[in-house]
Structure 1
Amino acid sequence: MDNNLHSPQDRDDARVVKLDHHDSVRSHVREQVRSEVERLEHRIETLRLVRAPHAAIMISAYERMLDRKKGFLKNWGLRDGNGY
């Protein structure tokens, strides 16, 4: 018999998911996307105060990006008490 073969128990141990690593990844992604949402909201506020020629187009694009990022947070269950 070949000693290089692994037992079923060894294969099961190799598949164990370390939830603490998963939670840390989720937390990192949530914080990263929340930071991006805050920056986009700030850019939109700034553009609304400025009379730039293409501000409306830029605001529209940023709002679409904002909606997608908030949708991502919602779909993945990453929202917090602040609404994102």
Structure 2
Amino acid sequence: MDKYTRSQAMTDQPRTVKLDHHDSVRTHVCQQISTEVERLERRIETLRLTNAPHTAIMISTYERMIDRKKGFLRNWNL
């Protein structure tokens, strides 16, 4: 019963929104995706130096992933 009264009391109070968290989230997402793109580009360079049977397919897949990630950054102005 104590849990109910606490949760009810929490909903009665106005919720404060900290707008500065929005920019920090955008920055974090941008950094994370940029890091992922760099890793994929390094993988592509490594794959180009190897002679494996499915290298071309893997490179193509990684390039599509890079294009989508960069497109996401562009669409969200990151």
TM-score category, normalised to shorter length:
0.7 to 0.9
TM-score, normalising length: structure 2: 0.77
Q: Which runs of 5 or more residues in structure 2 are unaligned?
A: 1-11
- AA aligned opposite 2:57: I
Mapped pair 1:33 → 2:58 = no
Q: Larger % of helix: which?
A: 2
Calculate percent identity across the aligned residue pairs.
Answer: 72
Runs of 4+ in 1 over 2 A off after TM superposition: 16-19
In 2, distance between residues paired with 1:19 and 1:45?
40
What is the RMSD computed on CA atoms of the aligned residues?
1.7
Unaligned runs of 5+ in 1: 1-5, 79-84
Deviation at 1:63, TM superposition (A): 0.4
Q: How many residues align?
A: 68
**Larger RCO, structure (CA 8 Å, separation 6 or more):** 2
The TM-score, its normalising length taken from structure 1, stands at 0.72
